[in-house]
């Protein structure tokens, strides 16, 4: 059940890249980004009303903690631009490379609340295999 | 250029996920998702304002592809709710692995339907990306088990 849901989640992520990409092709990259966030916000508000959660907490935390959504805007814009010329698979492959490298950097210095995990040279092997896969995808 | 954008999308995914996780620790996962979309909407409106793109009226969806393109934002929320639900029940290793596998397979299937041809380089490339990810995830896992001992 749990494993099935994890697999299902991966399907959702890929579908999302496609759907947001199609929306961007119809309405423009930035307008569609507004729409994606608007529809998402409506969905989460409905879910919170259903779960009877309060929308705004009583306590206010440092502004930096609320920037996740702002960074997420960049994700949507970047993905939309990439999808238009690369398609779903190559966009995903390159995104996974970006995720791997960024995670390594965050872990190395224990940034953003992550536990400090020093870099292991062996991981370069994994990164090289990922790079090889991307080269095959893009240039063959 | 497009290649760089696709890589940067991975960077911003991880950064925003970590920031949202920090907020989630303070106010809860669902609440942090709310702020993710709330702040995202505000910023995207500002960016849109400067982009000189026209405000088009939303047209009524006619075919299947019209309907699905409006669902991306909603799917994102469903994915977050599901991942909040499964994260405590499954090891990070297995979860990341399963999500990546189905993500890439779905990507290959979608590209097949979009471009009408089966691309062998994309399948082989996707498979290699997966092997690289699994290898590095395995190194993490091995490390964690050793620390636990």
pLDDT digits (tens, 9 = 90+) for B27-74: 888 888 899 999 999 999 998 888 877 777 766 767 776 778 888 889
Collect all residues of chain A within an 8 Å Cβ-Cβ radius of residue B21: 113
Please state, rounded to an integer, the average pLDDT across all residues of chain A: 86
pLDDT tens digits, one per residue of A23-81: 888 888 888 889 999 999 999 999 999 988 877 777 778 888 889 889 988 988 898 88
Residue A104 has what pLDDT? Answer: 83
Asked if B64 has any chain A CB less than 8 Å from its own CB, the reply is: no
Compute the half-sphere exposure of residue B148: CA atoms within 13 Å on the CB side of its CA.
6
Q: Find which of A1, A3, A5, A6 to mutate to test the B interface (most B CBs within 10 Å of its CB).
A: A6
Range of the domain at A7: 2-139
State whether residue B70 is helix, strand or coil: coil
Inform me whether the C-beta atom of residue A46 falls under 8 Å from chain B C-beta atoms.
no
**According to the model, what pLDDT value does residue A100 have?**
85
Query: What is the C-alpha separation between A75 and B7, in angstroms, rounded?
Result: 10
Distance of alpha carbon A92 from alpha carbon A79, whole angstroms: 9
pLDDT higher than 60, residue A113: yes
Number of domains in chain A: 1
Nearest CB to A2: which of B3, B16, B90? Answer: B90
**Is residue B127 left, alpha or beta, with left meaning phi > 0 and alpha meaning psi from -120 to 50?**
alpha
pLDDT per residue over B96-130, tens digit each?
Answer: 788 888 988 898 888 888 877 777 888 899 889 88
A73, A117, A131 member nearest B40 (Cβ): A73
Instruction: Tell me, yes or no, if B145 comes closer than 8 A to chain A by beta carbon.
Output: no
A64 touches chain B (CB under 8 A): yes
Q: B74-88, pLDDT tens digit by residue? A: 998 998 888 878 877
């Amino acid at each position: 059940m749990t494993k099935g849901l994890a697999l299902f989640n991966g399907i959702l992520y890929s579908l999302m890249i496609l759907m947001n990409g199609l929306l961007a092709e119809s309405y423009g990259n930035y307008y569609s980004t507004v729409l994606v966030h608007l529809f998402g916000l409506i969905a989460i508000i409905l879910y919170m009303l259903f779960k009877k959660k309060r929308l705004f907490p009583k306590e206010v935390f440092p502004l930096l903690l609320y920037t996740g959504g702002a960074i997420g805007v960049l994700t949507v814009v970047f993905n939309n631009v990439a999808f238009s010329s690369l398609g779903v698979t190559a966009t995903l492959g390159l995104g996974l490379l970006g995720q791997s490298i960024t995670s390594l950097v965050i872990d190395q210095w224990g940034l953003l609340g992550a536990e400090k995990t020093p870099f292991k040279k062996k991981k370069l092997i994994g990164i090289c295999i990922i790079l090889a896969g991307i080269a095959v995808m893009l240039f063959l | 250029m497009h290649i760089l954008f696709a890589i940067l999308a991975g960077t911003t995914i991880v950064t925003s996920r970590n920031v949202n996780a920090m907020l989630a620790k303070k106010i809860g996962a669902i609440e942090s998702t709310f702020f993710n979309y709330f702040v995202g909407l505000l910023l995207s409106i500002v960016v849109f304002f400067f982009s000189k793109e026209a405000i088009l009226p939303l047209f009524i969806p006619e075919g299947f592809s019209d309907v699905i393109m409006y669902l991306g934002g909603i799917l994102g929320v469903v994915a977050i709710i599901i991942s909040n639900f499964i994260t405590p029940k499954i090891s990070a290793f297995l979860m990341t692995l399963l999500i990546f596998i189905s993500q890439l397979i779905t990507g290959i299937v979608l590209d097949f339907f979009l471009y009408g041809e089966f691309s062998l380089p994309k399948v082989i490339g996707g498979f290699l990306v997966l092997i690289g990810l699994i290898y590095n995830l395995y190194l993490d896992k091995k490390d964690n088990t050793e620390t636990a001992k």
